[in-house]
Amino acid sequence: MTYPCITALFSLTIHEIVDDATDRIEEIFFKTVARIRQTTGPNPLQRPGSRPRTYLLMQAPPPPPAAAQAAAASAISETPIINQIIDAFGYVIYLTLAVLAVWGIYNIILVLGGLRRATLNARPNPLLKQIEPLLEKGQFDEAIQICRNPQFRFTALGQLVGVALQNRARSLTKIKQLLVSEFHTEIIAPMEIRMASIGTIVRLGPLLGLLGTVASMIGAFGRIGSSAKVNPTSLAADIALALWATGGGLIIATPMMIVGNAVHARIRRLRDNTERQLTEVFDLLEDTGVIGTAASKPQPPAPARRPSGSAR
């Protein structure tokens, strides 16, 4: 008798626990359904008079909190400004590349013009041919005036011969040192400064182009990340514009490098020709006896001699 009683009591306890759990589940289910109806409204697929059904998988997700909405709105409002700044920076790079190109062409024109004026390659040398008879006669001022004529005043040889004649009272060694300093300071140095600017443009052009490409690519990928739908045509145009920056830098640097090397070769040729011509000038000055010849100074009058028979 003891075991049936225990079995009946145990069955009753389990039945009560199951009933209590079922009630709790039903209560939670109906509360959840009521809450879903309050947020989403009635089911449009429900037929009139039928049992209310709620399709949990078809319901829209709950709206985000106010903080998330504010953060999303601020991100959407800030992204176009960043893209505009990056686009403006890219256009500044393009403008800088254009300025570099114009500046390089300007320097090349100046250097080539200076080389054309400074070079005197005619054989026989017309300047030495004109000043040789004047030096033999001792007409140094006339020879200096010929060096200052428009035909020879901008040539390297004309400037150096004029300096040598103006300092003819010095020794030959002093004159050579003076002419070397004059040649490198007044003739070669301005051209070297222009060539240094061209070299800077050659090195800076590809770097600026690469910087413009990186900035444009950042803007393009920023637009991809900030918009839901991306137009492939607009994206391809942005990438092409980005690559044109590097292409522009290379287009500027490559001709500048070629022309710069050619100009350097012409400057070396000018230096060699001028040194050879100066050797002829020094031989002419030594042959005519110009070296060590100072300008004639008026002699002071000789003191009057007393007559021999005068009284003291």
25 lies in the same domain as 133: no
If asked whether residues 158 and 241 sit together in one domain, one would say yes
- Distance from the Cα of residue 292 to its chain's centroid: 54
Could you tell me if 92 and 152 lie in one domain? yes
**One domain, residues 131 and 15:** no
Asked if residue 18 and residue 131 are part of one domain, the reply reads no
The secondary structure element, H or E, covering residue 138 is none
**Is residue 182 assigned to a domain?**
yes
- Which domain covers residue 99, as residue numbers? 80-287
Same domain, yes or no, for 125 and 242?
Answer: yes
Within a domain: residue 16?
Answer: yes
pLDDT-derived band of residue 292, with 50, 70 and 90 as boundaries? low
Pairwise CA distance, residues 274 & 267, whole Å: 11
Do both 227 and 105 map to the same domain?
A: yes
The reply to whether 112 falls in a domain is yes
User: Model-level pTM?
Assistant: 0.62
- On the question of pLDDT at 12 being above 70, the answer is no
Q: Which two tokens stand for residue 257?
A: 């490098």
Distance CA 143, CA 151 (A): 13
Q: Residues 54-77: pLDDT tens digits?
A: 444 444 455 555 554 554 444 444
Q: Is the pLDDT of residue 3 over 50?
A: no
Domain identity same for 30 and 91 = no
Confidence at residue 294, expressed as pLDDT on a 0 to 100 scale: 56
Q: Is residue 204 part of a domain?
A: yes
Same domain, yes or no, for 27 and 106?
no
109 shares its domain with 166: yes
Structural domain count, the chain: 2
Q: Tell me, what amino acid is at 245?
A: A
Q: Are residues 163 and 27 in the same domain?
A: no
For 261, the token pair is 């090397």
How confident is the model at residue 78, as a pLDDT?
46
Output the pLDDT for position 27: 75
pLDDT at 21: 65
pLDDT reading at 275 higher than 70? yes
Q: Are residues 103 and 220 in the same domain?
A: yes
